[in-house]
Structure 1
Amino acid sequence: MNATRYSVEQGVAVLELNRPERRNALNEAMRDELRDTVTRLRSDRDVHALVLAGAGGAFCAGGDLKGISSAGLDNEGWRNRMADLHSWLKDLLLLDRPVIAAVDGPAYGAGFSLALAADFIVATPRARFCMSFMRVGAVPDLGAFYTLPRIVGPRRARELMLSTREIDAEEALALGIVSEIVPVAQLRDRALALAASFEGASPLAVSLIKRAVTASSTSDLSTMLDIEAVSQSLVFGGAYHHEAIARFLNKQPAMFRWPE
């Protein structure tokens, strides 16, 4: 059985972690498959959105501690492994299409970090999030030092990382981690509906928005205004914008609409 399952239907890619007997804990095989899938996805222009999900009522319980314990790597070996992981993680974070994480059950450790790499997190009431790394004397990885402080602020990020306390879906929603909470039976359909809505969106606008927001936290006002001006000049000169304006003026339905 593969550690992940990947499928594409009507332009929506679904990447499902598939080790339900281990609550989808990340092992070496899963990391390799994630890397290969993200690499393939970058060049597949028929895909307009990605859904990340987990099988069997769990998103991801974190790193596979048995595999970590038996790896037998020295410091250099671990650094090389992290560099390999970061190669595809960076591609995922900078992917020029929307990424939706559908979280049911635990998203612990690296599983929490993986969910944070998405643009939207849709969760069920039984979703649980935890920066559990300190429980085994480790530090957060899979990009959490980058993503979590940008969502909740540095002070709250330190608190969640140092305390290793679990937060439920409602608190995650209040903190801005989760975009919305839906019943368990509706999770997959809702995530797919959000992803499908981007079929009508401007790929250029999506890409420029994601890149600009990523740059904003380390850029000054002048830089961001320059990025804004260049980005707007690109979209205003494009065919999508002209068609969208024409549809608006003719009182036709918009090409992109967020699903109710």
Structure 2
Amino acid sequence: MTFEETYASLNPSFVDDGVLELLFDGPNLNAVTAEMHADLGHVWRDIERAPAVRSVVLRGAGGNFSAGGSFDVVEQAIEDPVFRTQLLRETRDIVFAMIESTKPVVSGIRGAAVGAGLVVGLLADISVAARTARLVDGHTRLGIAAGDHSVISWPLLCGMAKAKYLLLTCEPVTGEEAERIGLVSLCVEDEEVDARALAIARRLRHGAQDAIRFTKQALNHWYRANSAAFDFSATAEMYGLGTADVREGVASLREKRAPRFG
């Protein structure tokens, strides 16, 4: 089966010879559905095994990257502990498969970039953000521990002090600020994001593949060294999905009010 058939939820297509695009495209600012979350846990290993893929570009449709996990996914996880265990496995698959993949990945981040969508946006090897993009890890606002990817990567990207401030407070940052603190690789004007991300993916596609892939793998040892911290954070996140705080977090977001945590 082709990428297009196997991973339809991610809208894969070859936008150039050797360059595979994955596109978030859906309702509620490209929110990540249960199907998309599962596909993000498997697609990287198939990309790794596909000789036709030499680089990957990630982007979102309609002016936004992704608003993160959908309310449907969160509410199912709240009610179903078996589904929470499945989400934990998929979360580990996404993070570790991206780290282990040797193929270079470029993300183009515009508009909202939150939660599960932000995971792949920032774990990409090169991240290109729009000046007005709005990046936020919203876990603690929802009432659960930050566990998708941030513990393994944010302290390396922007330093422990900034990581703690942003993750504990859920303070959003613009693309411009994200570049300033080192959370993303580049910041460009909003209308230039997609073209710049694709140009970088094309450049990597034409580069010396062994040199690029070995360099990526060597650098990713920094992530592997923090794998125990990630495992704890991901488990803590799933634990939180069974508490009263997350029910209040979801209710407050739906009702557009400040949460009243216990």
- TM-score class normalised by the smaller sequence: 0.7 to 0.9
Is 2:135 the counterpart of 1:115?
Answer: no
TM-score (norm 1): 0.77
Give the alignment of 1:145-184 within 5 angstroms. 145-184=151-190
Q: Distance in 1 between matches of 2:155 and 2:28?
A: 29
Change (3 A) 1:183 1:32: same
Question: Aligned runs of 1:94-243 on 2, under 5 Å?
Answer: 94-216=100-222
Q: Which string of whole-angstrom CA distances, capped at 9 and with x for unpartnered residues, describes residues 202-229 of structure 1?
A: 211122211211224777xxxxxxxxxx
Hey, what does 2:252 align to over in structure 1?
A: none
* Counterpart-to-counterpart distance in 1, 2:212 and 2:69: 31
Which residue number corresponds to residue 256 of structure 1? none
Give the counterpart of 1:42 among 41, 44, 48. Answer: 48
Q: Distance in 2 between matches of 1:129 and 1:218?
A: 24
The alignment status of 1:54 with 2:30, answered yes or no, reads: no
Alignment of 1:65-104 (within 5 A): 65-71=71-77, 72-74=79-81, 77-104=83-110
Cα deviations across residues 26-77 of structure 1 (Å, max 9, x unaligned)?
1101113323432321111221111111111111111112331134212x54
Q: 1:5 and 1:160 mapped to 2: Cα distance?
A: 31
Residues 225-245 of structure 1: per-residue CA shift (max 9 Å, x gap): xxxxxxxxxxxxxxxxxxxxx
SS of alignment partner, residue 3 of structure 1: helix
1:216–1:132: structure 2 CA closer, same or farther, 3 Å change rule? closer
Q: Which residue of 2 aligns with 1:227?
A: none
Separation in 1, partners of 2:69, 2:48: 25
2:33 counterpart of 1:27: yes
Q: Aligned partners of 2:118, 2:39: CA distance in 1, in Å?
A: 18
| Inter-CA distance 218–179: structure 2 relative to 1 (3 Å threshold) | closer
Structure 2 length as normaliser, TM-score? 0.76
Instruction: Please list the CA deviations of residues 102-139 of structure 1 after superposition, one character each: whole Å capped at 9, or x if unmatched.
Output: 00001112222221111111111220111111111012
Residue 5 (structure 2) pairs with residue 11 (structure 1):
no
- Give me the whole-angstrom Cα distance separating, in 2, the residues matched to 1:61 and 1:166: 13
- How many aligned positions are there? 217
Distance 1:87 1:112 in 2: 15
Off by >4 Å, runs of 4+ in structure 1: 216-219
SS of equivalent to 1:46: coil
Offset of residue 10 of structure 1:
0.8
Greater share of helix: 2
> Secondary structure in 1 aligned to 2:31?
coil
Contact 1:110 1:140 in 2 (8 A): no
Q: 1:46/1:32 Cα in 2 relative to 1: closer, same or farther (>3 Å)? A: same
Q: Which moved more, 1:122-131 or 1:76-85?
A: 76-85
The answer to which of 77-86 and 125-134 deviates more is 77-86
Q: Look up the SS of the partner of 2:12 in the other structure.
A: strand
Counterpart secondary structure, 1:142:
coil
Distance 1:115 1:217, change over 3 A: closer
Question: Which consecutive residues of structure 1, in runs of 5 or more, have no partner in the other structure?
Answer: 220-260
Take 1:136 and 1:217, find their aligned partners in 2: how far apart are those partners? 26
Equivalent position of 1:223 in the other structure:
none
The 1-side partners of 2:224 and 2:121 are apart by 22
